[in-house]
Structure 1
Amino acid sequence: MRRAPALSFLLVTVFLDMLGLGLIVPIVPALMKAVTEDATAAAFWSGLLGSIYGLLQFVVSPLLGRLSDRYGRRPVLLASLTCLGVDWLAHAVSPGPWTLLVFHALAGACAGTNTVVNAYIADVTKPESRARAYGLIGSAFGLGFVAGPTIGGLLGAVDVRLPFFAAAALSFANVAYGWFVLPESRPGDRTTRLTLRMANPVAAIAVVLRRPVLGLLAYARFCADVARMIHQSIWTFFLTYQFSWSTAHVGVVMAAGALAGAVFQARAVGPLVRRLGDKRAAVAGSLLGVVALAGTAFVSVPWMLYVVQAVGVLGSVGGAAAQSWISRNVRADEQGTVHGALTGIGAVAETVVPVAAGAVFGWSLAYASPGLVFVGAAVFAALSALLLAVTPDVRTAQLD
């Protein structure tokens, strides 16, 4: 690791991003109800806000990645964090849903944090160390997920808008921290062209998908994203239906799983990937994910759930290994461009899958088969594992 302060900042950034998101998760329904003064309208606007965020992220992410290649990682990352803080502040003071929609769309358009963090790590780490670094990022993500909803629930009990002020303050504090601490990982290259083709998300993604090795890895990642979003969207509803658990009980189980995953990714992912290599670790992690998702579909008692959760934690090695593998197949001058396209691909899953998974889950309840949706998730995870298995493990790739 060439720049310890930079990695520290990235870890803090991911943690605070997830903490800020987690702060507002328990509060969004109450805020939307307060703003719209109608429960049905609140549900509609909440869904619309989520969709517009994902749509704008899909549209703009490839361009943000390209901008980070042309002008450097630092300005794009700090601008993204600033936009996120403005969005949370707008949530805190907005008098109506249309204002929220406008600012949430802006936040989606500026949601370049994930893109730039992944490119930055590729800039400042050697290939053999990247899986460990990506594992640490995953750990910071998990820790923020654990802390955010707990703190958000406590603050929301005082005032429904207070968690949004807190999330905005964290974002702005992180911008100030990065302004003074974060070095530039790679000076911008003004020879990197900005064209209408690269600004078009469909064209930018198509360029990545056409590349022999990188295309297969991108398809594998998309399948993994679909499986992850199905699980993320339905898991709480499934446990509430299957075990009649309270929201607090579900929250505790989620927090415990996230904490275990954070510890595993921080301590074990690096050594495992060094021993197995990126490809074998990515395939093994994907197969463990298949087992965890398929097992979730058939759990009937809580102890079975805890077992499949543990398998899922072990499977998290696959994400870091696949990310490391992708970075090895991207030139230094295109890390931002490629990771922006990959973020756009993930945004498609984040926009479409929750709606589709919710519809399938509702339909499955009529046939007393609540776990059916997780069978579908396991199928996508298996497709991801298959694509990873057939992808050649080469170390470089060229642009078409």
Structure 2
Amino acid sequence: MGEENIIREPLLKKKYYENCPGCKVDLAKEQNPRLSIPNLLIIWMVVISASLPVSSLFPYLYFMVKDFNIAENEASISSYAGYVGSAYLLGRTLTSALWGLIADRYGRKPALLLGVMSVVIFNTLFGLSTNFWMALIMRFLLGSLCGVLGPVKAYASEIFREEHQSIGISTVSAAWGIGLIIGPALGGYLAQPVEKYPNLFLKGSFWDKFPYFLPCIIISVLAFAASIVCFWIPETLHKHNDGNKSTDEAEALENEGVGTEKDKIVKKKENIFLNGPLMASVLVYSIYSLQDICYQEVFSLWAVSPRQLGGLSYTTDDVGNVLSISGFALIIFQVCAYPFIEKAFGLTITTRVAAAFAIPCIQILPFVAMFSGAVLFILISIASVLKMVLGMAVTTGLFLIQNRVVEQHQRGEANGIAMTSMSLFTAIGPATGGALLSWSQTRMDASFLPGTHMVFFIINIISVVGLVSLIAFVRDKKKTSSDEQN
């Protein structure tokens, strides 16, 4: 490559390639130290549109399967509904690593665009399903093709300056969590509109023929808007393929000033599965994901259980109110508080402390059930907020660590591996959580951890395993490098 194709910054002592999209982003970050709010909003929009379909079907899935008339009896409806719910996770498990490789090979932007467009197509078709097999296939294809979460984590770690990375990654985890909360609310309020809003949706109309289409099309419209926005986002992947420069030099440029170019070329050829810090963080992330999905399943079922079984006798609206408060608090924490806490105490310490304090927030829930009325609502809301905020702090910390312990050329693959592992763990979570809760409610008079004390104790065993693994194996790359130098 000739010298005319290189933009030089003498003060920064770093060169940028004129036709490289990653170099353009890096140059823009060097010249503008401020946080890019538009990029933050774009990431938020993309993640929300990808997370809403994951759980939006849960409130109406039972009735949808019942309408298909495939179940032999009413008791088997839940089994067929479970197949549809698991189809998404199965598809995501099979293709997450592939989408990471696509993001590393062809760029973050194409992976995000294709993933969001898959929501537009297959989520809409799912709402138009007329039989069980169509619904099952649409959910499987949606899970297989919406490989957004891995690439968007890599993108968020690259589009912002280093001092703003924590808020970028925390935006991803917060938006994903909020989507999982808002999704069921949309499904619950908008499904079967002819029955719920007869003045707006007439009997015998299109909405009566497809009673579950409204929540799906609302989500698809949002995803369509996000896909349009994706056309305008900058690509962050470095591509230096001109002249006689090798693609390995792109990696050397990105990490200029740390080691030699030969070191970078050797590192580029390393097997990602031999990256110990990455594999450790992926394992801990999977453990905490299992704990979180079990907790979410148990919390909702426990809250609506009758008092005599240790529950709260809440309605679905009451549970929705608690989760809405938790979601609002989560947004405030992730945007306004987490970046400053992470900067003040460090990534590793913040993640470990959050994991430790989340344990008592879970175990205290059966004691909260002893109260009633407004006091109960206030206490359960506080406990839910603390659990959700602390859990999201752990997830965000692990996201940051996963993206810091690999170089850019493997970042998409690393996030894909993390998504695959997480999907495998979480696939067993809902069924396991429901079974544990049912079992615990059969031992209300036990002398050791009676009733629901047991199910939350078992969930905390998973939390303790995750905490011990986090302390023993997972460290921030920057801290490790500093210790080695000292």
Do the two structures share a fold, i.e. TM-score over 0.5? yes
Are residues 1:227 and 2:260 paired? no
Contact 2:153–2:172 (CA under 8 A) maintained in structure 1: no
Question: What is the SS of the residue equivalent to 1:243?
Answer: coil
Moved more, 311-320 or 341-350: 311-320
Partner of 1:394: 477
Please give the per-residue CA displacement for 1:93-151, whole angstroms capped at 9, x wherever unaligned: 22111111112111111131111110111222234422221222233334444544444
- What's the C-alpha RMSD, in Å, of the aligned pairs? 2.6
- Conservation of the 8 A alpha-carbon contact between 2:330 and 2:388: yes
Report what 1:184 is aligned to.
235
Per-residue CA distance 1:34-62 (angstroms, 9 max, x = gap): 22365445422220022222122111101
Match of 2:380 among 305, 308, 316: 305
Q: 1:124 to 1:16 in 2, by over 3 A?
A: same
Aligned residue for 2:111? Answer: 76
Q: Which residue of 1 aligns with 2:87?
A: 52
Amino acid in the other structure paired with 2:394: G
Distance 1:127 1:387 in 2: 27
Task: Give the 5 Å matches for 1:53-202.
Answer: 53-158=88-193, 159=207, 160-161=211-212, 162-179=214-231, 181-187=232-238
Where structure 1 has 5 or more consecutive residues not aligned to the other structure, the ranges are: 193-206
- 1:204 equivalent in structure 2: none
State which drifts further: 249-258 or 298-307.
Answer: 298-307
User: Percent identity between the aligned chains?
Assistant: 20
Distance 2:136 2:110 in 1: 25
Structure with more helix by fraction = 1
Q: 156-165 or 287-296: which moved more? A: 156-165
Contact 1:20/1:170 (CA < 8 Å) preserved in 2?
Answer: no
Structure-2 separation of matches of 1:189 and 1:364: 59
Aligned to 1:294: 363
Q: Shift in Å at residue 8 of structure 1?
A: 2.2
Q: CA deviation at 1:291?
A: 1.9
Aligned partners of 2:284 and 2:146: how far apart in 1? Answer: 23
1:239 match: secondary structure: helix
Q: 1:361 to 1:149 in 2, by over 3 A?
A: closer
Look at both structures and tell me which one has the larger radius of gyration over its CA atoms: 2
Render the CA deviation track for 1:212-234: whole Å, top value 9, x for unaligned: 22222122112111110111111
The match for 1:195 is: none
131-140 vs 77-86, greater mean Cα deviation:
131-140
Which structure 2 residue ranges, 5 or more long, are not aligned? Answer: 1-27, 30-35, 194-206, 242-246, 249-270, 306-310, 445-450, 482-486
Q: Deviations over 1:294-332 (max 9, x none)?
A: 222543232543342243144132222222122111111
Give SS of 1:183's match. Answer: coil
Structure 2 CA distance for aligned equivalents of residues 346 and 332 of structure 1: 21
318, 339, 342: which one pairs with 1:270?
A: 339
Among 342, 353, 357, the residue aligned to 1:284: 353
Distance 1:232 1:314, change over 3 A: closer
State the Cα distance separating 1:22 from its structure 2 match: 5.5
Aligned residue type for 2:217: F
| Change in CA separation of 1:380 and 1:297 when aligned onto 2, cut-off 3 Å | farther
Distance between the aligned counterparts of 2:299 and 2:337, measured in 1? 26
Residues in 2 aligned to 1:310 and 1:167: alpha-carbon distance in whole angstroms: 26
Structure 1 residue 157: Cα displacement: 4.4
Give CA deviations for 1:349-372 in whole Å, capped at 9, x if unaligned.
Answer: 221121122222211111121242
Does the alignment pair 1:372 with 2:454? yes
1:328-367 alignment, distance < 5 Å: 328-367=404-443
Q: Separation in 1 of the partners of 2:459 and 2:278?
A: 23
**TM-score using structure 2 length:** 0.73
Q: In the TM superposition, what whole-angstrom CA distance separates every residue of 1:184-204 from its partner, at most 9, and x where no partner exists?
A: 121568979xxxxxxxxxxxx
**Greater relative contact order structure (CA < 8 Å, 6+ sep):** 1
Letter matched to residue 97 of structure 2: P
